[in-house]
Chain A
Amino acid sequence: MGKETGFLDIERKDPGYRAKDERIKDYRAVENMPDEDDIYDQAARCMDCGIPFCHDYGCPLVNIIPEFNDRVYHGDWQGALDILLATSSFPEFTGRVCPAPCEEACVDGINGEPVTIRQIELAIIEKAFEKGLMKPEPPPFYHAQKVAVIGSGPAGLAAALMINRAGYKVTVYDEADKPGGLLRYGIPDFKMEKNVVERRIRLMEQEGIAFEQNVLVGTDISTRYLTMHFDAICLTCGARKPRDLDIPGRNLIGIFFAMDFLTQQNKRISKEMISPSTEISAAGKNVVVIGGGDTGSDCIGTSLRQGAKNVTQLEILPKPPAQRADQTPWPMWPNKLRESHAHKEGGSRRWSVSTKAFLGENGVLKKIRCVELEWSQKDGRMVPQEIKGSEFDIETDMVLLAMGFTGPGNESLVNSFGLETDARGNIKVDESMMTNIQGVFAGGDMARGQSLVVTAIYSGKQAAKGLINYLS
């Protein structure tokens, strides 16, 4: 373990962000890389708990956090990497974008500040790339069977990596120009620059994985083709159907889905083609973001960088307490007010607000009508009630809908395979992650619904595990 009294003697130290005024001017990563000396100290704060809540409660990937902390503390980067890679497929992604439920479950956090687990993770993997420890690991041999992975988001990549190492030749199909899915197109560069994704894809190619881009399964190639040419298929197409807001005025020009907005910006940065007719820009606009989550926050950061006049974020739920709420005691994922770096960059937030209608002129959005809500307990559940007379309008010429996703979306694929879905519209899988179709597996958001990158990776791995067992 680290230092016995490390958690008492050493304070938590985050590397922090680049200065606001500076970072707002570009799309480069806003968070500083952890300083090496600090990392040893920060790792020393880990107490190697008898029950590491970070590992078995916090982390969906069950990363063996105390052990890599220990290795880092002792300066054993190779050892730390071995431990980290034993569970985590892409620490360079999660080390940047994971909201780190591990830290919320850290024992140090009961009464103080948790260990900077995410930063340590990131440090390990970046150190590994830097020191050349990250080498392709092709399997010792290939079996005859071949596997197709559909979708190259975090789940697909994780599945592909694992299946390939198990000795099955993998081809990854993806509809976009470049592989990476949400990692590439959903997450803004200021959170994760895309060379990080590219670096990994290159490594995977060197391990023997083939990537086929611009292929929409069910449209560009048939499912029949796939089942004929591959012995097993892993579907990892994500949950891409955005939740819509079906209220008056929805057809007005100026209302966009957040993901379309964010994707376009990512493409713009990596100089991909964008049709001018579909171009969305916040420059000079009064932007309202509906939805208080991470995507919403990404929209704020992107809007500000594009030059929005101002940005307002609306959340239907009440403003959470500044500290962990009683209903979500440690080690649960806390209900508490979170302020992302984007929030600090500008814009304003409002809670307990429901949007009643989009109002516009000449088919163009001008403002939205909102009402304030009062939340109360009823049968153990929180229920909202509109506060009479609290209606108000917000002037706006651009609304971004960031209210989550409701299912896979890719209907042609679902239908052509004849996949069953569950009540929430996700693909139905059994314990081994196999769909109702023999040899077809599904993982990631597609199977479990919208979630975190880290969860998608875990789910992708589960699907890969099921698939490998199926083949062997």
Chain B
Amino acid sequence: MTRFSMPHPQGLYHPSHEHDNCGVGFTANIDGTRTHEVILNGIEILKNLMHRGAVGGDQSTGDGAGILFQIPDEFFDKVCPPLGITCPEPGSYGVAMVFMPRDNKVKKRCMDLVEKTVVQEGLGFLGWRDVPVNISAISGQALLKRPEVMQFFVHGKTLTGNTFERKLYITRRMIEKAVDTIAITEGCFYISSLSCKTMVYKGLFTAPQLPDFYPDLSDPAMKSAVALVHQRYSTNTFPSWELAQPFRYLAHNGEINTLKGNVNHVKSREAALKSDLFGHDMAKVLPVIREKGSDSSSMDNTLELLVNGGRSIDHAMLMMVPEAWGVKYPMGPDLKGFFEYHSGMMEPWDGPAALAFSNGSLTGALLDRNGLRPARYTITKNGMIVFGSETGVLTIAPEDVLEKGALRPGEIILVDFDKKRVMKNGEVKSNCARKQPYRRWVEENRIALRGFYGDVAPVVPDSENLMKQQKLFGYTREDLDMILGPMASEGQEPVGSMGNDSPHAVLSEQNQLLYNYFRQLFAQVTNPPIDPVREELVMSLMTYIGNPGNILSEIPQNSRLIKLRHPILSNEDLKMLKGLKLQDFRSSVIAMAFPAGGGGKDLEKALLALCEKCETALNNGNRVIILSDRNLPEGMAPIPALLAASAVNKHLVRIGQRTGAGIVIETGEAREVMHIALLLGYGSTAVNPYLAFETVADLSMKDRLPKKKDVTKAIENYIKSLGKGLLKVMSKMGISTLRSYRSAQVFQAVGLSRAVIDAYFTGTSSTIEGIGLEEIAQEANHRYNEAFKVIETQRSILPPGGYYRSRVDGERHLWTSRSISTLQHAVRTNNYDLYRDYAAMINDQSKKQSTLRGLFTFKYGKAIPLEDVEPASEIVKRFVTGAMSFGSISKEAHESIAIAMNRLKGKSNSGEGGEDPVRFIPLPNGDSKSSAIKQIASGRFGVTAEYLVNARELQIKIAQGAKPGEGGQLPGHKVNDEIARVRHSTPGVTLISPPPHHDIYSIEDLAQLIFDLKNVNPTAIVSVKLVAEAGVGTVAAGVAKAHADSVLISGSDGGTGASPISSIKHAGGPWEIGLSETQQTLILNGLRDRIRIQVDGQIKTGRDVIVGALLGAEEFGFATSILVTLGCVMMRKCHKNTCPVGIATQDPRLRELFNGKPEHVVNFLHMIAEEAREILAKLGFSHMDDIIGRSDLLSTDKAIDFWKVKGIDLSRIFYNPWATDPSVARRAIHAQPSDIDHVLDRDLIKRAAKALDSGKKVSMDIPVKNSFRTIGTMLSGEIARRYGDKGLPEDTITCNFTGCAGQSFGAFAARGLTMILEGEANDYLGKGLSGGKIIVKPQDTCTFNPSENIIAGNVLLYGATSGEVYLYGKAGERFAIRNSGALAVVEGVGDHGCEYMTGGRVVVLGETGINFGAGMSGGLAYVYDPGQKFDLRCNLEMVDLEIITDPEEAKDVKAMITRHYTYTKSGKAKDILDNWDKSLPCFVKVFPMEYRKVLGKMIREDIETERQEIQHG
């Protein structure tokens, strides 16, 4: 039977990894008039958002499109009677839209069930209608998997309005459950909508296919006051009709990162659901969330429960997607009360989200707290509203426009057809907030504990037993020296360098805590990570203990909760909880222990008993379960706290008691951020790491902290750094609040058996199986035995750890003193024998396993003579070096690598720090220092048009192995003159790379950036760098659909730069799994033939290369090994600027010591290729191309008999999706389709030929619309190619545009190009501006006040290096983000203005949003603030605010405004200029402290104040 949903899991592919992002919009007649135009307009919006969607592998199947509108009574009046259906009056009948199986017999059974259920529910069944469809509108997979589309009609009998709607909801759930009993219908039956108010037409379409497929939509009788549309872009190409949107109430652009947690929380609250409105029907709708749905459909499921449970749709939306309301967030008490009240009942559905929703009478849209999706609207004078992901989706004459706006982060907009009004954010929220006295309810019911989270009392360590305790919980010297010590003394997580070359926990002979078998997941491409430091005000660690009970109720008692400021409990806090005598909050301490020496069975028994004890405790009226391993009786070993916590959590969810209970973990085991994150991620409420406190106290008392701190301060610091670390772990995944992080399980397991996962960590991805309870018990016993050992033959000290710094008796490393010295000797003397010795040390893991590939063996075939194998000089062309920026490594090292790779005809990678243009010119001897790959990272340092045109490959770095999901920072003291010049910044000013690319918050954004880059440099290929994690294959499929030419799968082990050490160790996964998953997913999607795969991450030998090729890679990256050949000795001090061999340093004294030569790199890579050739010959192949993707030539090395390896199963890595069809392409054999053949710029270039050739001035007029994206970019690339960064003289080419410009207007616009736009612009205007000039002003015919309306979208001037921008109107969020040189004048900006700015000047003539100047380390901003409120909206962490006193400076500002006026004729500018003397004092100057210091404008005493450097990794 043909299913129209996704395939089953196979190999490393799992459908749960699928993502989708999209375009969303609606249009409505505000007064509720129903017209056919509305539907036509909806379809038009859809078509204009088409570039935000995608097509699949077959190039014709869209990812999905749909439209939601009011039930068109007039239409049904027309079409139903001929079918014998008589619809009663509007509102008293309901219509269902159903996808039916095409098999007639099954269809009949479904129809019978539908009819039966409708009648059972007391409604009248009116009849069926076959929805006419035009199947010629679709082709490919969409056609193949097409369902029958039918409608049925239901009589409400006595029911109308909301009551009828609720009954229809119950009926639909009952039908769904009934149909589920027919097993074969799985994925074949789906009700798109069943409502008496709205209906949904959707399917697996591209936008234009929707109206073609459904002729109904073109019927003039189809009338509605609202049309809500959605264009889907999914990462996969699997046809799934049902996941097209809108759903019943909403359409979603973005992604819910916390889905697992949200679903778990909803599930655990089902038992308590009660509602007078539902009465006995309550149980019928359970489970609320349909399994196997997408994030958006799960959200829709929850929304329909809340709405049918009696809350208004706007209220329910605010409950699910609250805006930030933390202490630092500017918000009134009533609204704060509203959000706080609901926060106890519903965890935020967190993640980037622009949501459009409608129940037929109310229609609206909402943006999540981070505001990472664009949301623009236009209201016309004739009562129409258009909302969409872009502006310009409907053409509206300028003179008809009443207002143009955009939703700010956390804002909502609502159209009420009854009131015939549009309600803005403030009104909607106030209405909701004042429905009940929420603020008072919270204040009166919240349980206040005196002294809770008060001062930390000094902990007195039990020095007698401390080491014994430490050994019992597996402490190492490294834990003390490298983790706890620095945390306690600095208050933040320590930083390390040079990646990871140690075994996975499951391969390690060192004792491993259970935590180490998990890896953090992180956001890449489909959702952005967040900056928890600069955008702290959206983050929250607050959580509750207590039970709000029934989430459908609105009673004061729902606030009877204990609020935890953060989840780390001090000993005093825990004592307080233990002592609580309050009804409902009594606690019970339960020991986490099993008999020492016991095996897996004993452990299992102990876990079972533990769960039962918890259950009993709850039944006895206790509400706080404290799981403790403190003071265990002799003979009892601690159960790993994570195992105990997760087991208990799972048990309590199963018995429906989880929401009522707080699970607090009192443990000696947890000490690192990762440990706490795991405990919370698997359901714990709070943690008391008592032994860590004691250890910190001991370090402090013994004066062993890196910086002297007293005990109290040390513990406070330690707690603080745990908090910061947790925020970072959450933000890596794009999650803002701990409440939604809790239970979200955003981890993958590496090396745990299926049995353990299923029993205790259900739903966690684990690809290679691994250890079970037996081995977990064994490791726990080992710790116990070490702790209670009587005899020591040597002075007893803690074990070394040896993970971050190598120790002979510590963790194993592949980079050892011997492998390094042998390799260095080999490359310097070009001695292949020595290389062989080196390679053997790395490759032979038969006794000592370090990597997954170490467990592989090759299935050798009939060997061929070595001379028949392609020469090494061919193989080395596949080699690239990893992205290491000039700045992170020295000029000498950076250039040596470039020269070497150019000699080899491989590719070196510039890294993210730009490149000195001098290097673009070849040297006289034929060498070239120009990196073939130019990287584009989130900081966009030095990314100019000139930089981009001088590349063979443009690489978008989404994540990096050592710290995926995090940003970075180059501290000011490292930014010397040369680095500053290359990066287009100011010497001495800190450079911060944000965690996300601010122009990539979702997959369609990535497609846009790829499009931008192909425009600026049409000859370069574009690659996207991802880091391996569970689900990376799916992301890679999305990347392929975004038309990237190459995707790099980076192992999490790699990384040469500085990172928080917990990220090096705990985030991301091994490349073997990621690469294989990518290969399999691309093949399953039919996308592999058009995209190359590159792999990197601790690739060290020819054998590694061959393994990579067999798993599907065409190209291979080297980084650490390259540095080693150049002299690196793995000091792992890259972050300290003290590299003793002159590589990772800018200190001239040390750079002089650099001893590496390009020849060393050349020798090394040739030897690697030689080794690869030898293996190729033994495998029986002559060319690398022949073995790519031949994972069938790999098998598991059976000879390895390490006890923990026995449970590992590698078969999913070796899985071949092509096994049945060997003709399937396993590597890239043709190019991606070109998107840039017909762009507007081709025409612009032709028309500007004279200017380009001879510098003659040209001018042109061009009308534009929103689908014209990236205007001016290809032209700018052309300028940069010919004239470099200096470009052409000002105004050589002037383009006058009219209309609404698409995204990336003027991206990388070069000097000499002037772009004047009359109309408006979308997101990313002036991205990477490279000297060009952009002017945007409304058409003359506009009648609204431009200063009060939005004229351009979000993220403007991102990474601009020079040029000018004048906007007569307001801009969206993140204006001039990471600007490093452009001048701009704008009339108002959204939140996060001038974020991360490092240079340039910005004048804002109106209001700003909040968090202005966050992370701003350079440049200047002047904000016109007559209301004197700006300091409330500015992030004062790094900037000073002052008035303009210097007359020269005043003159400069005035000159900028004068230019603005000259170009735009801005009324506001004129007012200000006309009253300059009065206006000047109203300007606030935003002056970054660092910049002030560099300019020498800080007094000495001020400089000497020790400021906490804002650390970001």
Question: Using a CB–CB distance below 8 Å, which chain A residues touch chain B?
Answer: 4-5, 7-8, 47-53, 55-57, 62, 64, 66-67, 70, 74-76, 79, 81-83, 85-87, 105, 107-108, 110-111, 139-141, 162, 165-167, 329-332, 464-465, 468
A87 vs B792: C-alpha distance in the bound complex, in angstroms? Answer: 12
Q: Are B816 and A332 in contact (CB under 8 A)?
A: no
Could you tell me if B477 and A105 are in contact, using CB atoms closer than 8 angstroms? no
- In this assembly, does B1131 line the interface, its C-beta being within 8 Å of a C-beta of chain A? yes
Q: How far is the CA of A107 from the CA of B1140 in the complex (A)?
A: 8
Q: Is B791 within 8 A of A66, CB to CB?
A: no
> Are A67's CB and B1141's CB within 8 A?
no
Shortest Cβ gap from B179 to chain A (Å): 60
Q: Known pairs A47-B1140, A51-B817, A62-B809. 19 more at Cβ < 8 A? A: A5-B1138, A48-B805, A49-B805, A50-B805, A50-B806, A50-B1133, A51-B820, A51-B1131, A64-B800, A67-B481, A76-B704, A79-B702, A79-B704, A108-B1140, A111-B1140, A162-B793, A166-B791, A332-B821, A464-B793
Cβ contact within 8 Å between A51 and B816: yes
B1132 contacts the other chain (CB 8 A): yes
The residue on A at minimum CB distance from B1142 is A111
Using CB atoms and an 8 Å cutoff, list the residues of chain B in contact with chain A: 477, 481, 497-498, 702-704, 790-797, 800, 804-809, 813, 815-818, 820-821, 824-825, 828, 1129-1133, 1136, 1138, 1140-1141, 1147, 1149-1150, 1153, 1155
CA distance A50 to B1141 in the complex (A): 14
Q: Is the CB of B809 within 8 A of A165?
A: no
Contacts A62-B809, A67-B477, A79-B702; A50 near B794 (Cβ below 8 A): no
In the bound complex, do residue B1150 and residue A8 qualify as a contact, i.e. CB atoms below 8 Å apart?
yes
Task: For A83, list chain B residues within 8 Å (CB).
Answer: 797
Who on chain B is nearest to A111 by CB? Answer: B1153
Which of A4, A53, A66, A162 contacts B794 (CB under 8 A)?
A: A162
B1141 contacts A330, C-beta separation under 8 Å: no
Known contacts A82-B795, A331-B817; A7/B808 CB under 8 A? no
Q: Which of these, A49, A64, A165, contacts B1131 with CB under 8 Å?
A: A49
Residues of the B chain whose Cβ atoms lie less than 8 Å from the Cβ of A67: 477, 481
Q: A50-B1132, A56-B816, A79-B704 are in contact. Are A165 and B793 (CB under 8 A)?
A: yes
A135 to B852, CA, bound (A): 48
Q: Which residues of B contact A165 (CB under 8 A)?
A: 791-794
Kindly provide the distance from the CB of B1179 to the nearest chain A CB, expressed in whole angstroms. Answer: 32
**Contacts A/B (CB < 8 Å), 15 sampled:** A4-B1133, A5-B1138, A8-B1149, A8-B1150, A50-B498, A50-B1131, A51-B816, A55-B808, A56-B807, A75-B703, A107-B1129, A111-B1140, A165-B792, A329-B825, A465-B793
Residues of B within 8 A of A82 (CB): 795, 797
Question: What residues on B are CB-neighbors of A74 within 8 Å?
Answer: 703-704
The answer to whether B791 touches A329 (Cβ under 8 A) is no
Q: Find out whether the CB atom of A50 lies under 8 angstroms from the CB atom of B804.
A: yes
Q: Which residues of B contact A47 (CB under 8 A)?
A: 1131, 1133, 1138, 1140
Q: Are B1140 and A329 in contact (CB under 8 A)?
A: no
Indicate if the CB atoms of A139 and B797 lie closer than 8 Å: no
Query: Which of B477, B794, B1153 is the most central at the interface, judged by chain A CB atoms within 10 Å of its CB?
Result: B794
Q: Give the chain A neighbours of B704 by CB distance below 8 A.
A: 74, 76, 79
**Min CB gap B573→A, angstroms:** 32
Chain B hits for A62, CB < 8 A: 808-809
Nearest opposing residue in chain A for B805, CB measure = A50
Task: Specify which of A5, A51, A87, A468 is in contact with B1130 (CB 8 Å cutoff).
Answer: A51
Q: Most chain-B Cβ atoms within 10 A of its Cβ — which of A111, A141, A331, A332?
A: A111
- Hey, which chain B residues are within 8 Å of A465, CB to CB? 793
| Bound complex: CA A107 to CA B1141 (Å) | 9
Q: Which residue of B lies closest to A109 (CB)?
A: B1140
Given the known inter-chain contacts A50-B1131, A79-B702, A110-B1140, please indicate yes or no for A329 contacting B828, CB distance below 8 A: yes
Q: What A residues does B1153 contact at CB under 8 A?
A: 110-111
- CB pair B1141–A85 under 8 Å, yes or no, is no
A330 to B1133, CA, bound (A): 20
CB-CB under 8 A from B824, the residues of chain A are 329
A85 to B806, CA, bound (A): 19
Q: In the complex, are the beta carbons of A57 and B1131 less than 8 A apart?
A: no
Contacts of A166 in B (CB 8 A): 791, 793
Chain B residues near A49 (CB-CB < 8 A): 805, 1129-1133
Report whether B818 and A57 are in contact in the complex, using a CB–CB cutoff of 8 Å: yes
Question: With a CB–CB cut-off of 8 A, which chain B residues contact A79?
Answer: 702, 704
Q: Are B1130 and A167 in contact, CB atoms less than 8 angstroms apart?
A: no
Most B-side CB within 10 Å, residue of A82, A86, A329: A86
A194 to B792 Cα, complex, angstroms: 29
- Chain B: minimal CB distance from A326 (Å): 8
Give bound CA distance, A174 to B795, whole Å. Answer: 27
Bound: A79/B804 CA distance, A:
21
Closest-CB distance, B1184 to chain A (whole angstroms)? 33
A105 lies within 8 A of B1138 (CB)? no
With A51-B813, A82-B795, A110-B1129 in contact, do A4 and B1138 touch (Cβ < 8 Å)? yes
Assembly CA distance A363 to B1138 (angstroms)? 66
CB contacts (< 8 Å) of A4 on chain B: these are 1133, 1136, 1138
Residue of B797, B816, B1138 near A8 (CB, 8 A) is B1138
A410 → B minimal CB distance (Å): 27
Residues of chain A lying within 8 A (CB to CB) of residue B1136: 4
Closest chain A CB from B824 CB (angstroms): 7
**Cross-interface CB contact of A50 among B796, B797, B809, B1130, cutoff 8 Å:** B1130
Measured between beta carbons, the chain A residues less than 8 angstroms from B821 are: 53, 57, 329-332
- Given A4-B1138, A108-B1140, verify A52-B806 contact (CB < 8 Å): yes
List the A side residues contacting B702 at CB < 8 Å: 76, 79
Q: Per a CB cutoff under 8 Å, which of A53, A329, A468 touches B817?
A: A53
Contacts of B825 in A (CB 8 A): 329
Contacts of A48 in B (CB 8 A): 805
CB distance from B1008 to the nearest CB of A (A): 41
* Alpha-carbon distance A52/B800, docked complex (angstroms): 13
Chain B residues with CB under 8 A of A110:
1129, 1140-1141, 1153
**Complex Cα gap A52–B808 (Å):** 10
Chain B residues near A66 (CB, 8 Å)? 805
| Distance of A70 Cα from B1119 Cα, bound (Å) | 31
Shortest beta-carbon distance, B466 to chain A, in Å? 13
Q: Which of A56, A87, A167 contacts B791 (CB 8 A)?
A: A167
Query: Which residue of B477, B791, B808 is within 8 Å of A139 (Cβ)?
Result: B791
Minimum-distance CB pairs A-B, first 4: A50-B1132, A57-B817, A85-B795, A62-B808
B791 — which chain A residues lie within 8 A by C-beta?
Answer: 139-140, 165-167
Contacts of B805 in A (CB 8 A): 48-52, 66
Please name all residues of chain B whose beta carbon is closer than 8 Å to the beta carbon of A8 when the two chains form the complex. 1138, 1147, 1149-1150
| Chain B nearest CB, measured from A169 CB (Å) | 14
- Cα distance A88–B1359 when bound, in Å? 56
The answer for the CA separation of A76 and B1133 in the assembled complex, in Å, is 24
CB-nearest residue of chain B to A70:
B481
B794 and A87 contact, CB distance less than 8 A: yes
Q: Which of B477, B703, B793 contacts A76 (CB 8 A)?
A: B703
Minimum Cβ distance to chain A for residue B488 (Å): 15
Contacts A105-B817, A329-B828 given; indicate if A55 touches B797 (C-beta within 8 A): no
Residues of chain B within 8 A (CB-CB) of A57 are 817-818, 821
Determine the residue in chain A with the shortest Cβ distance to B821: A331
Shortest Cβ distance from residue A121 to the other chain B in the assembled complex, whole angstroms: 14
Find chain A residues with CB under 8 A from B793 CB: 162, 165-166, 464-465, 468
Q: Which chain B residues border A111 with CB–CB below 8 Å?
A: 1140-1141, 1153, 1155
- Which residue of B1132, B1140, B1155 contacts A7 across the interface (Cβ within 8 Å)? B1140
Chain A residues whose C-beta falls within 8 Å of the C-beta of B795 in the assembled complex = 81-82, 85-86
Residue in B closest to A58 when the chains form the complex, CB atoms: B817
Residues of chain A within 8 A of B497, CB atoms compared: 50
Q: In the docked arrangement, what's the CA distance between A406 and B804, Å?
A: 43
* Chain B residues, CB < 8 A from A332: 821
CB closest chain-B residue, reference A162: B793
Contacts of A107 in B (CB 8 A): 1129, 1131, 1140
